[in-house]
Amino acid sequence: MSQKTSGGAAENTRAIEDTVVTDFSTRMSYGAYLALPELLQLQRPISEPEHHDELLFIIQHQTSELWMKLLLHEARAARQCLIDDDLGGALKRIARIKHIQETLIQQWSVLATLTPTEYAEFRGFLGNSSGFQSHQYRAIEFILGNKHAGMLRVFESDPEAHAVLEGLLQEPSLYDEFLRYLARHGVPIPASVLERDVTQAHVFTPELVPVFVAIYEGAHGGDDDTWRIYETCEELVDLEDNFQLWRFRHLRTVRRTIGFKRGTGGSSGVDFLQRALELTFFPELYAVRTEIGQA
């Protein structure tokens, strides 16, 4: 119940408990731990005069990059779990990735409040900067298997970003390591798949489809090991579905905001994003659905 002041009005406050720490002269605070003084100074509008909505644009992209940093962290960990034959650990990390993806997808609804007229007020100040140049987005594509060596040219002026992408280009993807895990556990993965050039994007391999058909059909026969593999297949499908939803929301937000204008980074804009929807990470996990239940 609210306490009363001497004048009879209710105090709309709560008492600070005696145990709450308030002196941070020699202690680490919340702000210090998160480096908030530095973090909150990193939103630097460049429009002149400063346009009100540019802050939204900056925060949208900065927070997306932070979530992508965590997504990459979890994807690397999931891949390592597969290398270590820890399927449960990989599933845990993929589950977290899916929640991160959901947050990234929902963020587009905030940016979609930016009208064409509002964006036009500061778009010209962006120069050639574009989300196309996000090395973390490319890194996510690479670790999931959609590799493109030509993308490294975009990052030649950024040695650190270039090194990250070069490393991921040379390393097996998450899907590569899943297929290797299956092979070590008795699943007949074709040698051509296990020995493929991992610097290339994974492409549809018909020989893998009957392998996954056997997994999907066998999972319902009471074999726990097969069920766990089947579960992982479905988690990967969820992951790709989420990624495609992110791409689609990106496309629709761009179309809503700038129509069919060319992108600031030189891309064709909406048309370029539309073609990205045709890219896939785990094509055999979708192809298997056509085969299951066929007479």
Residues in binding site for heme? 250
Q: How remote is the C-alpha of 265 from its chain's centroid? A: 21
Contacts of 154 (CB under 8 A, 6+ apart): 132, 133, 138
Annotated binding residues for substrate, written as ranges, equal 57-61, 119, 123, 264
Annotated binding residues, written as ranges, equal 57-61, 119, 123, 250, 264
Cα gap 13→18, rounded to integer Å = 15
Instruction: Decide if 122 contacts 57 (C-beta within 8 A).
Output: yes
**Phi, psi for 294 (deg, rounded to 5):** -70, 140
Contacts of 129 (CB under 8 A, 6+ apart): 264, 265
Whole-number Cα distances in Å, 262 to 42, 184, 255, 266, 267:
28, 48, 11, 6, 6
